[in-house]
Amino acid sequence: MAPESPNLVALEAAYRRGRRARVLVELVPVVLYVAVLGLVSGLRPQVIAAMAFALLLAIVGLWRGQGMGRAVYPGLLVGLVPFACSFAGGRVGHVCTGDTCVSLCMPLCALGGAVAGLLVARAVRREPSTVLTLGMGSLALAVGSLGCPHAGLTSLTAMGLGILVPLGFARLFARSA
């Protein structure tokens, strides 16, 4: 194997510096987006910081994967649907009829997840990529989880299943067509 030329090494280093700089510049609107969603949600600042940090790590990981970088902005936009539904579920609380009371957070989280799953399936219809689909779906779930400060594990599971079920059907029907 021949040693690499110094020009090639310098060119590769410049490329990597440029990619890092681009990711940092593109993170600015994402940080603002997460900060606004976190402040609107009413979560404690420590919870917002932890969730935002996890979301930003996921986004940096997606951008590092180059092709997965295409999932970031669509995933964040699709995530507004489960965020709005879970936020509404947390604010509405519960409905009482007679002697029974039912919380609306879990059904609204599932509904928001299902709509997000349909939107992701529609977005990746032209280019069915499992990696892109999972990237967009996971970002939608991460953004949606910021919406309800009272959402427990069952509500987040319902949101996740709401995202996965339409995606699974879309992948199944895409293969059979």
pLDDT digits (tens, 9 = 90+) for 32-76: 777 777 777 666 777 777 777 767 776 666 666 666 677 777 888
Give the C-alpha distances (Å, rounded to integers) separating 101 from 94, 95, 96, 104. 6, 6, 4, 10
User: What would the pLDDT profile of 119-131 be if each residue is shown by its tens digit?
Assistant: 988 888 877 777 7
pLDDT recorded at residue 76:
82
Tell me the pTM: 0.72
Mean pLDDT of 132-146: 82
Q: What are the domain boundaries of the chain?
A: 6-176
Mean pLDDT of 145-155: 72
Nearest to 12 by CA among 4, 2, 21: 4
